Amino acid sequence: MSGSSEIIRAERLGFKYAGTDKPAIQNVSLSIGRGEFVLLTGPSGCGKSTLCRCLNGLIPNFYQGEISGDIMVDGLSTSKQLTSELSRHIGYVFQNPENQLFALTVEKDIAFGPENLGLSRAEIRSRVDSAMHVTNTVGLKDLAPYELSGGQQQRVALAGVLAMQPSMIVLDEPTSFLDPKTAEEIMSAAEQLRQDQGITILVVEHRLDLVARYAKRIIVMNKGEVVADGGLEETLDTQFEMLTGLGVGVPRVSLLWAMLRRDGFVTGRVPTHVEEAADSLSKRLGN
């Protein structure tokens, strides 16, 4: 594993799928540090999924097309490494967890990755137990994945990724199939992993209400390019019109605050979540 403070570095990265006229992404240059919690957002078709496929080596190893520029993951060039090797460094939790759950029981599903690394039985047992404990799935270990709720499936998919002990986890629109309470639990679990294990978290999401509570940085894409990259609070405040113009689902409390500020009822930076807004109002009212 690389000792660099960076886990992702892309320089002028571009990719055009075979049979298409326009590149899906182009001129993407960015760096993501270890232990960051980053939100990647933008309208549908902006290139988010393509960028993520570059991160885990699916591009160029499984998708045909023309790639340009460079991308390094944990010090490894994705164009020179097998996806099996990259999976040790970056884990990917799909939008629909059913797409990656296939074993007869939850426990066997979580063990699948470590088993394919050729680890000892003791090491596999240790990793599976640890992953189930962290994701609160111990009680589900003997159940079949299809018996689980959407939130439980998401947790099992996350546990399977954790058992590989990656340096970074990508969560692709993890709240799409979940109720608000379960979605909040998944985001909280991701943040706990970042705090406890130093894992870098990248969440791909176009609805920002839940993620905004945890992410400190936001990367915005449009038409295959990065159009904004900075602190979440500052970007929401200064690029609010741009975000809403792209159809990004900004936090509702941020939208409300921006409307009130426009009409002169409040001042100051747009808050990212309800507690922050309440605290700001409380200070203004002298409570």
DSSP string of 262-278?
Answer: HTTS--SPPPSSHHHHH
Task: Supply 212's token pair.
Answer: 């905004």
Half-sphere exposure of 70 (CA within 13 A, CB side): 7
Q: What is the pLDDT of residue 1?
A: 44
Cα–Cα distances (Å) from 256 to 244, 250, 265, 276, in that order, read 13, 10, 11, 13
Strand order in the sheet with 200-204: 90-93, 168-172, 200-204, 37-41, 217-222, 225-231
Angle at 273 between CA 247 and CA 204, to 5 degrees: 45
Q: What is the mean pLDDT of each run of 10 residues along the chain (287 residues)?
A: 78 96 96 96 94 90 93 89 84 86 94 92 95 91 93 90 92 81 84 91 90 94 96 90 91 88 86 84 72
Task: Identify the pLDDT of residue 287.
Answer: 56
Q: pLDDT at position 286, please?
A: 66
Report field, pTM of the whole predicted structure over 0.85 = yes
